Structure 1
Amino acid sequence: MPKERKAKIFMNGRSRAVRIPSDFDLSGDEVVIRQETDGIITIHPARQKRSPGELIEWLRQAAPLGQEFPEIEDLPLRSVDLDLPE
């Protein structure tokens, strides 16, 4: 069953804000807020942007797949007509 709690809405500068209770932990520093046509508001953690260096580091530390990839037959090249109709 989903958790549900009341939360206070307050002013923060010229914006309205909602204090999210600590037991509703969200990762990251940003959220995506969506208001549906029926008034329901959802809040989701925003996707974290990753740098190329983080991916390379993850790949270096990742465990090997433990399987060999099958050989792939090199097919002969074929010409393709790239002329577009006018």
Structure 2
Amino acid sequence: MGMERHVKVFRNGRNRAVRIPVEFEFPGDEVIMRKEGDRIILEPVKKTDLLEWLAMIEPWDEDFPDLDERQAPPEDVNL
């Protein structure tokens, strides 16, 4: 098991809260919280930019429909 430290639980409005000690600090300002039995687990949210996301997705095998075929022909508008 990793590091361990006792911390106090306090009230913050209607919520209960704990302060995260500096030695347990992680990057970012958002976390995913989940409960497993009696444990509460916090994990930092991994933010990905568009290029990282595009690299992770599966290739698209289907053809896109030709949208020009479905459109009405343009009308000449004289202003």
TM-score interval (norm. to shorter): 0.5 to 0.7
- Counterpart Cα distance in 2 of 1:28 and 1:44: 10
Ranges in structure 1 where 5+ consecutive residues have no aligned partner: 57-86
Shift of 1:11: 1.0
- Counterpart Cα distance in 2 of 1:10 and 1:16: 6
- Residue 7 of structure 1 is matched in structure 2 by 7
Mapped pair 1:43 → 2:50: no
Distance 1:49 1:11, change over 3 A: farther
Shift of 1:5: 0.3
Partner-residue secondary structure (3-state), 1:23 = helix
Tell me how many residue pairs correspond in the alignment.
52
TM-score relative to the length of structure 2: 0.56
Distance 1:10 1:49, change over 3 A: farther
- Counterpart Cα distance in 1 of 2:14 and 2:32: 19
Which residue identity does 1:29 align to in structure 2?
Answer: D
Ranges in structure 2 where 5+ consecutive residues have no aligned partner: 53-79
- Residue 17 of structure 1 is matched in structure 2 by 17
- Extract structure 1 runs of 4+ deviating beyond 4 A: none
Tell me how large the CA RMSD over aligned residues is.
1.9
